[in-house]
Amino acid sequence: MQFGQLKRRQFILLLGGFAAWPLAARAQQADRMRRIGLLLSIAEDAPETKVRLAGFRHSLESLGWSEGANIRLDFRYAPAVSENEAKVLARGLVILRPDVLVAQTVLARALKDETRTIPIVFLSVGDPIGLGLIASLARPDGNLTGVMTFESSVAGKWLEMLKEINPQLARAAFMGNPKTTTYDYYRRAADGAASSLGIESVPGIVATASDVERVIDTIAREPDSGLVVLPDPTNIFHQDQIIALAAHYKIPAVYDRREYVAAGGLMSYGVDRVDEFRRAAAYVDRILRGAKPTDLPVQEPTKFETVLNLKAAKALGLTIPPTLSILADEVIE
C-alpha cells in the first residue's frame, strides 16, 4: 500500500472515530444515570419537607451524585394514606425499576411487599424488626436497611418531660394510629417508665379527626393529665387540630418533632430529621456503588433536639423548670 493511500485510510478511520465518539459518550453517560424512588410520609408542600430533602440532596451531591446529571429522583408523597393507597404508590415506584428505593415510616413495608430485589433504605422507622422489615439491626436480612428513628426507651423521656413541667401529672395518653406507626413498640416501653414516675399510661388510638377530638376530650375530663403525641403520619396530618385542642383543654403535650412546637405546641424531644435524611442518603450512595443492604447495619439515632415554647407554657399556666430549659436546643418565645 502506498504512503498516500495509508494516510487517506488513517484519516477516514480517524473521522469515523470522531463521529462515533459522541454516541459512545452519550451511551456512557446514560449508563451513569441512576434512578432513586422515594416514598415519603410527609406532605409535599410542607416547609419541613423542603428542608429535609435539601439535606438529602446536599448529602448526595457531596458524595458525587448530581440530580439531572447522574441521578434521577422520583417522589411519591403519602401523608396519612390508607394501606391500599400505600400499596398503589409503592407498586408505581417499583414499576419504574429504580436502582434504590427510599421509604419513610411503615411505608417501607408497602415497598417490601412489592419487591424483594430492589434495595430499600428506610428512615423514620421506630421498630424495624417488629415491623418485619429486617431480621436484625447488625445484619439486616434481605433487601432492606436504613436509619432507625427512636429506641423504645424514648417513651420514658417523653413522660419525664411531662412530669417535670407538671409534677402533679397523674396520667398520660399515648396518641397514635397503630396502622401508621409502631404504636405498641412505644406503649410497651412506656408502661415501665410510667409506673416508676407514678403515672398511669392510657391508650389514645386515632385514625380520623373525630378520633383526635375524642381522645383529647376524654383525657381532659381527668385532672392532671398529659398527652404524648407519637411519631406518626396520622398525627402529623392532624397537627393543627391536636395543638389547638391541647391548648383549648389546657393539656400539656409533648411531641416528637420541632414542627409541632413551632406551630404552637408546648415541647418536643426527637431526632434531628435533616440529619436522618442525610444519613439515609449516605446509604443510598453506598448501595449505588455496589454495597448490599444486608452488609449495612441499621443506624441508630445520634442527634437529638429539645424544643420548648414559652408562650404555650404560659397559656397553660405552667412554668418551664430550669432542668428543661438548660437542656433545650431551642426556646421559642
**CATH, residue 261:** 3.40.50.2300
Residue 280 lies in a domain: yes
Distance, C-alpha 141 to centroid of its chain: 21
Rounded Cα distance, 112 and 148, in Å: 17
Instruction: Tell me whether residue 16 is in a domain.
Output: no
pLDDT at residue 30 greater than cutoff 90? no
Average of per-residue pLDDT across 190-199:
91
pLDDT digits (tens, 9 = 90+) for 62-118: 999 999 999 999 999 998 788 899 999 999 999 999 999 999 988 999 999 999 999
Let me know if residue 86 belongs to a domain: yes
Q: Residue 103 is placed in which grid cell?
A: 421509604
Specify if 7 maps to a domain.
no
Tell me if 26 is assigned to some domain: no
Asked if residue 122 and residue 94 are part of one domain, the reply reads: yes
Cα gap 54→48, rounded to integer Å: 10
* Averaged pLDDT, 292-314: 95
Q: How many domains does the chain have?
A: 2
* Spatial distance between the Cα atoms of 296 and 232, rounded to a whole number of angstroms: 26
For residues 194 and 90, membership in a common domain is answered with: no
User: Are both 191 and 243 inside the same structural domain?
Assistant: yes
322 with 259, same domain: the answer is yes
Whether residue 183 sits in one domain with residue 322: yes
In a domain? residue 2: no
Co-location of 194 and 310 in the same domain: yes
Domain membership of residue 64 as a residue range: 34-150+273-302
Does some domain include residue 267?
A: yes
Residues 160, 282: one domain? no
| Residue 102 and residue 211 in one domain | no
Q: Residue 150 has what pLDDT?
A: 85
Domain check: are 38 and 122 in the same one? yes
- Does 281 lie in the same domain as 261? no
Neighbours of 165 (CB within 10 A): 22
In a domain, 20, yes or no: no
Compute how many other C-beta atoms are within 10 angstroms of the C-beta atom of residue 210.
9
Tell me what pLDDT residue 230 has. Answer: 95
CB atoms within 10 A of CB 293: 24
Residues 215 and 325 in one domain: yes
Confidence of residue 176 (pLDDT cuts 50, 70, 90): very high
Residue 22 is predicted with a pLDDT of 43
For residues 284 and 321, membership in a common domain is answered with no
Q: Is 13 helix (H, G, I), strand (E, B) or coil?
A: helix
